[in-house]
Structure formats: C-alpha cells, structure tokens
Amino acid sequence: MTFSEKVSKTGIIPVVVLNKVEDAVPLADALLKGGIDFMEITFRTECAADCISEISRKVPEMNVGAGTVLNVSQARLAVERGAGFIVSPGLDEETVRWAIENDIPVIPGAVTPTEIMKAVGLGLKVVKFFPADVYGGIKAIKALSAPFGQVRFLPTGGVSEANLKEFMENKSVAAVGGSWVCKKDDIAAHDWDKITKLSADAVKIIKEIRS
C-alpha cells in the first residue's frame, strides 16, 4: 500500500501538541486503541523530536509523522528521529523537494489554485487544506476539485466530530486532520480513555462513510 492509500484507509491524522515526552507513548497507545494508526506530532513544542523518536521506537504500529514543519532543517531532524512523513501548514518548495528526494511522504498546505498548481508541479497529489474552516471548508474543496480532479485534500483546522461526515463524504478528501480527538487538556489530564473513545467515535463515522 502506498502512503496515500494508507492515510486514506485510516481517514484521519490527529494533530498532536505534546509538552512532555512521557505523554508520547501513552497517547500513541490511546489513539491505536481507538483505531487510529496515524499521528502528526507538531514542531510547536521543544520536545516534538523526542516524542517522535519515543513513538517510532516503542510503538511500531503507529505511523508517526511531523507537523508544523516550516523548513528543511526541521524536516531533516524529524526524519532522523523517526518521522515517517512531513506535514506543513504551507508550501515551502525547498522542504518539499528535500522530502521527495529522500523518499519521505510530504503534505504541504495549499489552499489557493496557484498554491495547488505549485504542489502539483512538484509532483504531489495530496495537499493539506488549512485552515479548512477559514478557507471555505467543504464548499471550497468541492470548487477546487473541478479543475484539480487528481488532487486529494487533507482538510485540517476546524474539523470535528460535528462536520467530519461532510468532509469524509467527498471523494476528493483523502483524510481529515484535527486535534479534537486528542485535545491539549485531555492530554494534560492523562485522560487516555477519553482520547480512545473520541478516536473510536471518529473511526466509526469514517468507516460508515467509506463502506
């Protein structure tokens, strides 16, 4: 299975902000228990690289990637520490080229036709649509899929259980991204059961739509 087939199969990439390395493995386990085998650890906290390395070593079933990657040096660090894919809020050409050259799946943000054309020109087929709610949500994705029928989107930002269905029903949506299954407060409270429950609820909706 290719990376994008795997992502599509799972249908969701939780966006994770971790402040403590010791929360990384329990969180990965909680997501897996709920049926989610992808997670994006954002480079917004100092411990992001350490969290990636913990998960890649100790939870091999989890496809762990790095998010909020802004440049090549962060991408390189993330991959050295075990990240299997790179997600960026926008499109940095140098980072995309580096990832492609190193055979690392990369999903940059692209929301305008010009940005999407740039991503396609670099050889990509999946882009992050971020912040999805601000840039027109599913309505915008539908409009963009007319000229960009081959492109698939990862809407992220403002996606939740409330609108998950409308995104997943669209064939141009490869998967959704979001933090609602692993909120900062739930991680801080070590409420792993809640995270598992929210993950399982999301997976149920995704499976119903996909079947």
- Residues engaged in binding ligand 3PG (CB under 6 A): 15, 130-131, 156-159, 178-180
| Minimum distance, C-beta of residue 157 to ligand 3PG, in the bound complex (Å) | 4
40 classed as catalytic = yes
Return the number of the residue (98 or 129) whose C-beta is nearest ligand 3PG.
129
Closer CB to ligand 3PG, 136 or 158, in the complex: 158
Least distance between ligand 3PG and beta carbon 89 (Å):
6
State the residue for tokens 């894919």.
Answer: 85
Q: Which is nearer to ligand 3PG, 7 or 60 (CB)?
A: 7
Does the annotation mark 208 as catalytic?
no
Catalytic position from the list 128, 169, 171, 207: 128
Tell me the closest approach of the beta carbon of residue 60 to ligand 3PG, in angstroms.
26
Of 82 and 131, which has the nearer Cβ to ligand 3PG? 131
Question: Which residue in 5, 20, 40, 161 is the catalytic one?
Answer: 40
- For the bound state, the minimum distance from the C-beta of residue 159 to ligand 3PG, rounded and expressed in Å, comes to 6
Active-site residue list? 40, 128
